[in-house]
Amino acid sequence: MRKNILVKSLFLISFMLVQFVGLSQKPYKLVEQSAKEKPSWTKSSDPYLFQAIKAPTLEEAKNMVKSDLLSQIASSVASTISADVTVRKDEKIQGNTNEYNESVEIVINTKVAKMPALQGISLDNANIYWERYINKKTKETCYDYYMLYPFSSFELQELIDAYNAQEKAINDKIDSYRETLESIDNIDVLVENISQMERMKKELADDNDRCNRLNEIIRLYEKTVKNIYVEVVENHNRNNIGTLVIQLKHDGKVMKTKTLPSLKGACARDFTKKHDDDKIVVTFNTYDCYEQDDNYVEVRFSFGKARLNNKICIKL
């Protein structure tokens, strides 16, 4: 009997020694926590529970879990939208639909990640718990941070609606470039719209369908600018002062611009130029011009990538 008691006592002492040694060998010591007891939700299997373990600062820990939260929400939104879009697209496409679906999902993931509504998500409504530890050897501090975000199906639908509104706004903008082209009577607007569409292409670099649409519309705009021509409204000379009044036109329609041309003449000199409503008035000295010479004024315009040069015979 005494032997059994002695054996049990020795076993108990050994166990306590092992436990003590084990505890003493732990490198980190808990020195502070945001609540008296660690909440049960920190062990939840909720997909919106995030942890940052041994983060160097509390702020870095917060940023880590927020980044994980945004990634998870974006994944939820993108998965829901992709499932709907790819099913609808599959009905219209032949060949390897898997590759097509994959490209659609990649585009959607990219778009969702850039959503302003997603970037506006805060942690104000989240459950937060953290613990501060100190490294016994180095005396450095670190944090374990837990965050449970109550993301609901209602919030998911709000983000999906925001995504759809964002997509509609982009499509409407692209459509408006095409629909308004024929009514534009200002070359500066044409050039600015081309620049805006080029910027949109960079923003939508992963979206081949939209980039192709924009390329086609840009081509139509550039063709319009390229086909603009100079029409002489007045051409006269009095006391060696020549005057040209010109208009820029496309397919018979007067086109306005704030741009003034650069001017060159074989004999004409002392050029002046100014706008007169939708016309451009050019004056010059023709004192050194002779009737037997090739007397002309060359007007040169630069509209974006397009160049317009026109030689106009002048009267003496």
Q: What is the pLDDT along the chain (316 residues), one digit of tens a residue?
A: 444 544 444 444 444 444 444 444 579 999 999 999 999 999 999 999 999 999 999 999 999 999 999 999 999 998 888 887 765 555 444 555 555 667 778 888 888 888 888 878 888 889 999 999 999 999 999 999 999 999 999 999 999 999 999 999 999 999 999 999 999 999 999 999 999 999 999 999 888 899 999 999 999 999 999 999 999 999 999 999 999 999 999 999 999 999 999 999 989 999 999 999 999 999 999 998 988 778 999 999 999 999 999 999 998 8
Q: Which residue, among 232, 247, 245, 238, has the nearest Cα to 285 in the 3D structure?
A: 238
In a domain, 3, yes or no: no
The token duo for 238 is 């009095």
pLDDT at 21: 40
Shared domain check, 170 and 88? no
Shared domain check, 31 and 147? yes
Question: How many residues does the structure list for the chain?
Answer: 316
Give residue 284's domain range: 229-313
Shared domain check, 254 and 143? no
In this structure, which amino acid lies at residue 60? E
pLDDT at 117: 84
Cα(275)–Cα(261) distance, integer angstroms: 11
Give 226's contacts (C-beta < 8 A, 6+ positions apart). Answer: 306
Domains: count for the chain: 3
Contact 133, 52 (CB under 8 A): no
In a domain, 309, yes or no: yes
Shared domain check, 82 and 139? yes
DSSP-based three-state secondary structure for 52 = strand
In a domain, 70, yes or no: yes
Q: For residue 56, what is the DSSP state?
A: S
Cα(108)–Cα(207) distance, integer angstroms: 9
Shared domain check, 175 and 146? no
Cα(206)–Cα(308) distance, integer angstroms: 35
Contact 276, 205 (CB under 8 A): no
Cα(17)–Cα(37) distance, integer angstroms: 27
Contact 104, 78 (CB under 8 A): no
pLDDT at 98: 53
25 backbone dihedrals φ, ψ, rounded to 5°: -90, -5
Q: Which helix (H) or strand (E) holds 307?
A: strand 306-313
Give 158's contacts (C-beta < 8 A, 6+ positions apart). Answer: 117
Shared domain check, 34 and 82? yes
In a domain, 245, yes or no: yes
pTM of the model: 0.74
Shared domain check, 143 and 31? yes
Cα(100)–Cα(209) distance, integer angstroms: 12
In a domain, 87, yes or no: yes
Shared domain check, 267 and 180? no
